[in-house]
């Protein structure tokens, strides 16, 4: 599932898209790791606020992880 296909609040979707873009545009391993940390903090905030259903949170985490994995593979 893509971010666009997810049925989540628009404000969360917009911020998530910005974070994914930050991951994708990172220029080095340190930048990519920092962007991954931002993604993790964003998800933790959503969990704490109970702003989404658990299955949507898991999917969002998966999307962030996939973006990070793709970026790290390209940086090696």
| All structural domains of the chain with their residue ranges | 10-75
Flag whether pLDDT at 65 surpasses 80. Answer: yes
Residue-level pLDDT at 46: 98
The whole-chain average pLDDT of the chain stands at: 97
Rounded to an integer, what distance in angstroms lies between the CA atom of residue 48 and that of residue 5?
24
What average pLDDT score do residues 19-34 get? 97
Residue-level pLDDT at 76: 76
42 pLDDT band, cuts 50/70/90, is very high
* pTM for this entry: 0.94
Reported for 1-9, long-range contacts at CB under 8 A and 24+ positions apart, including other chains, are 1/59, 1/63, 2/63, 3/60, 3/63, 6/56, 6/59, 6/60, 7/56, 8/52, 8/56, 8/60, 9/51, 9/52
């Amino acid at each position: 599932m893509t971010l666009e296909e997810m049925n989540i609040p628009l404000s969360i979707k917009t911020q998530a898209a910005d974070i994914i873009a930050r991951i994708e545009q990172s220029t080095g391993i340190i930048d990519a790791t920092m962007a991954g940390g931002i993604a993790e903090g964003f998800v933790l905030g959503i969990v704490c606020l109970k702003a989404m259903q658990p299955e949507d949170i898991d999917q969002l985490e998966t999307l962030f992880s996939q973006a990070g994995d793709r970026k790290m593979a390209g940086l090696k």
